[in-house]
Structure 1
Amino acid sequence: MSDSSPLPPVRLHSEAELARAALSTPLLARAARLARWAGPDTRVDAGGGLIEEQLPGAADQLGLTGDDAAAYAAEAWRVALDSGLVEIADEDRGTVRTGEALALLTGSPQEVLTVWLAALETVLADASVPDLDDLVDALDEGGEIDFASLDWDPEAEAEFLDGVLGNLYLLTVSEDGAGDGPVPLPALAASMIVPDDMGEPTDDVLEQVSDAMMRLDDQFRTLEPVGLVEYRPVDEALMADADEELAAPVEEADVSRYGMVRLTPLGAYGLRARLMEAGFEAPVVGELADKGADVLLDGTAAFGPSAALAETELWLNRHEPLSGARELLAAARGTDAGGPLRRLRCQQALSLVGGEAEPALREVLDDPELGGLARVWLSERGAAEVPAPSQDLVFWLTIDTVAAQLAAEGNSEELQALVEGLAEQHSGFFAAAWRVEHPATADVLEAMGRLHPDKKVAKEARKAAFKARSQQGG
């Protein structure tokens, strides 16, 4: 991902809901329980971890049994220490005391989430570390870890996981992405490995995808207890066969056997916080609701249709229909490059407003930039005495509409259909269109020349664009 342009807006749950979810995550709940259990007799080693003799008591406090109980208890303690729920009281004696962060868990939702974000960072760091068995195997004669034998680059591993989580966030919040649904692990791994311009992946690339899936399987198992994701692991039967090619094409019905991951609402909050800290612009649906209409129209310019609709509905809920309509219309004016898309967003917003707004629309009937959309609004509601538009206004509105669609969608199929329809419905369209005094006239005609499938019509559009540009230059 690039941080040069904003990410699609995310819909976040309320902080109160997110805080409740954070407190109920297994890992933070265990960490808090150990922080309350710890006392004067609790002892830690030089690194702050519970000494081995105390791990069984910690596991028992958490109700953990089995071979992995001590490891889970040690992980919960590490989260408690790193997130400030406990603190080292005396390094020489290895004693601990209650940390200031423990009180935050009974504080405001924002305070709870601050502790959870600290816990998340600890777990993300752990997820980038090789398996414990691999670390033991890599010990040299002096008891030090031979990182070269592990073929492990900590920085590269952390960057890879960040990239995967960034792609998962993007797939979750994008208009045409997974939304609340799960993402197949092979697709997520391939998004990091397979080049965009590669047709059929090579065997080498497929092997890299397979290796990435195995790493991600371990990492998502680690990340699930902190509440970042919901994860259905890779089927153990597939992993049992060392010769199984995990990246090979699979039937859709079987794709879940290869792992499925879903970003939770809490996870979306956490990843957005990390993305913003890394310098990305990561908007949230609802953050424009208390801003002016100018900020709303400009801010939703890059939103997809459903996100723009949701943001606009929240804004309208805070405004009276008539005054809101007047504010939107005033903000929609402008001959700058963003003007057409502002007017499109304004038109979409006004479509949600009832008849109480009619006076505001009638007030702009003579406005050269707003008169067209005002007539459309009034006509759609069956209003009386709507003046017919002049031919100049019709052509100006047409250019403005196509310019807005270009800005919103680029060369989409919908825009191509619109272009074809305009050329069919208006004979001599290009002969008149190049004369339209609109800043985007030449750009729109050039786009029509690119998009229209009929070579003859496309040529007419290009000629008209040349005339329009010559007129603008003159």
Structure 2
Amino acid sequence: MTDRIEAAAAELRPLLQNFILWARENAPGSDANLVGSVALWHRLIASDDVGRWKQADLRTVLLDRMPQVVEDPDAAADGMVPAVRAYLTFLSESNHLTKGSASLDDLLVELDRLEDDFVDAMEDLVVEQDEYEDEDEEESEGLGDFEPFADELSDLPTIRLRPDAELAAATRKTTLITKARDLAVWVGSERRVGETSLLSDAEIGEALTALGLAAPEPGDKSLADSVPALWNIWNLAIDLDFLQPEGEDTVSADADTADWPFEEDDDALDAWMAGLHSIDYGDPELEDEEATIALSGLTRALLIRVLLATGSKPLAELRTELAEAAAEYDDLGADAWAAAAERYGDPLNPVLEWLTGYGMVEVEHDQVRLTSLGMEGLVHLVDDADIELDARPAIDAMTALDLLSFSAELPEEEADAEFAAWMELRAPAQAAKELLEAAAEDDADALIRVQAASMVGSLGEEAVPAWKDALDEPSLRPYAATHLAQLGVDDAPSPTQADTHWLILDMLTISAGLGRPEFVSSLDDIGDLVNLLDVIWKVPHPHLEELLEAIGKAHPDKQVGKAAKRALFKARSNHN
């Protein structure tokens, strides 16, 4: 059966590649990844022609087979039928729906008729899986899953990330993105892609030359099946949007592709991040598909172990740990590891080759080290897995806004330490200027504003020039006037009643975000709330109306509630 699966998968690969390109433009809401298993099992059990679809085939594949083989029934329930609908439409529009097939209309009608039954079958599987997981104390994890390391990751010391300019400079040196660009440039404009192979043998030879890759020795397999490195770079070019669909069965290089490395830091970083999940292309590819699956996730498994070693780990230790992990996670893991060792010399060779090519690791003196770019990417991958990790900008790369944002979420002692370290790199007057400018960027962010005022207030007279400049910023004027008065600055304006009211509204904004009990408690601390509400509606605070509405709903005193509603009416009338 394995040989049949491999043969069918090879036959389908070009067609599915074309569908993925087509779907980006014509069915962006469908999950093209869900189509592969449907197309594969259609070819294996329903038809000897990948393009011949009959109405009965849909029932055979979707209702009889998919419940036995689907890996994620929840995702299948949500997206498989729409994906199949898009795939059938693609086959019809691209003339791949061959003679003997039902019409597209008939196929779609049958698909609609089966949809409820299919969704019910998938939902039944979800229930069964949940029950099984409840009974199974040890949930089976994949080799590349991060979840088993969640506790260790949360216990890591603070990870310091480099500034975007430095990271962008590193992305421009990544050899794999350069190869993806070169391949896309070679593809050019409106290149036809074939039905049995994306490229002809002659084109494959040209592409290998363009990439500087050696042609494989002649063997039993077709040339297309003998150049996985080429297809990995092809897929990376698609991930990076360097290659785009251009009509039916054609692909073109994106207009901006030749401009790589991009000049703007944001553009360079965005491109690199778009290809981040290509790390999975580093996993070993073996002759046996099941062995390949047994080692899937090996690249991620290496990365997470290097991270847990605080960014550097001996290659020999990684090799030992990962060999044991592969054997533990899959019954075929040990045999797959041996097969990879026979093919590559070291099962980690393809992993490290891809990661170094993507700029994520360096290997020196048999030590694997995460680069700054690799650390940035891995932090994003861990975050994608919904695992907590303490990652912050490096102190020398931390902007004032970074400092304010992080400090607002840290315990006081830790926030003070961050502030002290940040202050060591700049004079107090400059620090005050940077902090107040950062606080002025968003007048709706009261917490950042209060945080900045507190930090700048601790700088004493050195901050006077920055406070004076802040008088011209409406959201900061109340703080500036108050602190200048406290410092006894002669020519400074005295705080007004409106300034005091603004400060009150800022504090209420913060307490409202803490929950109803804290909000009501802060209202009680004010004192004569009814009289305050009679005048505070005049303050042009960004959160005024929502605060007045919240007071009316939350405060237990009916008089306060009525006063809040009157104030809200006046505020809205005033704004109109």
Tell me which of the two structures has the higher relative contact order, counting C-alpha pairs closer than 8 angstroms and 6 or more residues apart. 1
Structure whose residues are more often helix by fraction: 2
TM-score under structure 2 normalisation? 0.36
